[in-house]
Amino acid sequence: MMPKEKMTEDVSYIRRMRREQRARRTRRVRGCLLSIALMAALAVYAGGRAAHGPTENARSGPDSGAAQPLQASDPASNGREPDLPRTDGPEELFASEELEELVSGVLESIVSEDMTKMEQARAVFDYVHDNIYYTGSSDKSDWEAGACAGLTTGKGDCFTYYAVSRALLTALEIDNLPVERVGGETRHYWNLVDCGDGWYHFDACPRSSRLPAFLSFLFTDRQAADYTAGAGRCYYDFDGSLLPERATKILFPN
């Protein structure tokens, strides 16, 4: 069992990591809003000059088409900066506040400050693989709803495993993308993940005991093809043109 002091340190680390992550997003949002406000102000100024014609000074000089300097501030504003659209707080990772809380609770229990990105990804893989019961069905209309359902009910199908993995990996700032099976009689979903060593396949969904054994954590296209050749069903057939180039170095031989 994890010592109380260590658990406190891990929780503090997760919370600090999330605060910093949100602060970065907030700065980016404010920067974009400021740029939009300045562009709008210039557009209004230019439109006003076009509507009212050249100023008195511009008509009297040789460069009658020259624009006048833009004033540093509008006198009516009393020197205040223009008001920007307000935000209600730091940008959230997910549309659902419930999902945000569920993800935070899981990560506080499975990752620690000294973990590498790959170790964090493996912790996510093990958690999702071991804590969701495969039922063979799920609502596939929205991945966030699928993740929320998986974390609250503890059951679902391959889409649920993909969605929960995506939510946890995203919160950890581990790059990930969805992958969907091409061909076959049934659908299958998994993740593509980059922990810093290139893009690898990541499939936390358990397979039937009738299929060959396979560690589906950070595996290559070649490993996916080899497994599919033995398992059939177009198991890991996918359209690689829809995805970034994948790494070829095998990290975990099967």
Number of domains in the chain: 2
Judge whether 169 lies within some domain.
yes
Across the chain, what does the average pLDDT equal?
78
> Do residue 10 and residue 134 come from a single domain?
no
pLDDT for position 40? 55
Q: Which two tokens stand for residue 27?
A: 């700065």
> Do residue 153 and residue 224 come from a single domain?
yes
Judge whether 73 lies within some domain.
no
Question: What gap in Å lies between CA 202 and CA 123, rounded to an integer?
Answer: 12
Sequence-separated (6 or more) residues with CB below 8 Å from residue 89: none
Judge whether 49 lies within some domain.
yes
Judge whether 248 lies within some domain.
no
> Do residue 103 and residue 51 come from a single domain?
no
**Position 230: which residue type?**
G
What range defines the domain where residue 224 resides? 97-242
> Do residue 217 and residue 110 come from a single domain?
yes
Q: Which of 144, 116, 128 is nearest to 251 (CA)?
A: 116
pLDDT digits over 63-121, tens only? 333 333 333 333 333 443 333 333 333 456 888 899 999 999 999 999 999 999 999 99
HEC letters along 146-173:
HHHHHHHHCEECHHHHHHHHHHHHHHCC
Check if the beta carbon of residue 249 is closer than 8 Å to that of residue 215: no
Tell me the pTM: 0.66
CB hemisphere CA count around 9 (13 angstroms): 8
